[in-house]
Copies of this chain bind each other. A is one copy, B any other.
Amino acid sequence: MKRFILEGVVIISSTIKDIAKYTGLSLGTISKYINGGTVKEKNRKLLEDAITQLDFKVNELARGLKTSKSMTIGVLIPEINNVFSMNIISNIENTLLQNGYSTIICDFRNDAQLENEKLNFLINKMVDGIIIMPLHITSEDLSRIKIPFVLVDRAINNVGCDTVLVDNLGASYNAVEHLINCGHKRIGIICGNKKIYTASERLKGYISAFDDYKLTIDQDLIKYGSYDLQSGYDLLIELININNPPTAVFVTNYEMTLGCIIAINEKGIKIPDELSIIGFDNLEMARIVNPPLSIVAQPTEEIGKMAAEIILKRLKGDMQDFPQLIKLKTDLKIKKSVKRVL
């Protein structure tokens, strides 16, 4: 038994050696018991007693060194600081913990360099697997990862790996279709940089709906923002100021939706009478806006759970269906921000 002093308190930390001394059993037997092996009933009791008496806890570091498993999963994410990411992380963490894994979170703050640094950090930390929401990362970077990993939210071309994402194209299609069905013909879209996977998919959905309904696309109604609040704000104002403004707008991410709402409030635009709008993500926001906002809601809980489950599966060595591409459906929550026109 090792004693040391911390903050003036005597600490006792015991190892299997101490258990061995206490019980007279050998290290092998103890280790076996700890890991669920069968031991003579008498010894089992002896060990149970010893473990509680000495307050024994296995040293996961030592175990990890021996087994080459740290029982931790790294999560690499562009920005922890938004509801979408948080929901996903929360569900990843929960699912993993139920399986004995802990989660190390690395937020790279949308910074390309940090993204790579933190990836290395995680690998160094000997995590057993990594869940990544990629931003700037390339297939080359990914090829350096020698442990199971799964991509979340965004796919990367030419990388054969497990990926969990939502049907962005369909999400967008459904939203635009809804607007069309409500009689809108001039529908603006505020989308993100075409280079971003989700952004380009969402634009495709818009175009696809227009095609299917034989409507002609007016390039003036397609605005490219940068997925942040300010561009949502600016682009909404641009849209309403063009010659023949849209009667409805579809905004393709959360931050830009916020920006649009602020612009709408400031300009005193009446929703849905003067403008119909469909936003993205975050049901909570949709509810406090007046009138409540129709939005495309992403299944964040499922994304998190699925990602965790796939990585757990791979960690068990089950390579079935590799590489697995999971495309989850979004949900169009219809509230009161869309007007039915003739």
- Chain A 89-131 interface 0/1 with B at a Cβ cutoff of 8 Å (1 = within): 1100110010000111111010000000010010111100000
Check A285 for interface membership: any CB of B closer than 8 A: yes
Check A193 for interface membership: any CB of B closer than 8 A: no
Contact A80 B89 (CB under 8 A): yes
From known contacts A121-B97, A288-B265, A288-B289, infer whether A6 and B146 are also in contact, taking CB-CB under 8 Å: yes
Name the residue in A87, A261, A289, A322 with the highest tally of chain B Cβ atoms < 10 Å from its Cβ: A289
Residues of B within 8 A of A126 (CB): 59-61
Check A337 for interface membership: any CB of B closer than 8 A: no
Q: A61-B126, A94-B109, A258-B288 are in contact. List 15 more A-B contacts (CB 8 A).
A: A7-B148, A7-B322, A58-B124, A59-B65, A60-B124, A61-B61, A61-B64, A72-B104, A83-B86, A90-B107, A93-B107, A94-B107, A258-B287, A285-B288, A288-B289
User: Which 4 pairs between the two chains have the least Cβ-Cβ distance?
Assistant: A265-B290, A61-B64, A61-B65, A261-B288
Residues in A lying within 8 Å of B, measured CB to CB: 6-7, 9, 11, 13, 57-62, 64-65, 70, 72, 80-83, 86-87, 89-90, 93-94, 97, 102-107, 109, 118, 121, 123-126, 146-148, 258, 261-262, 265, 284-285, 287-292, 319, 322
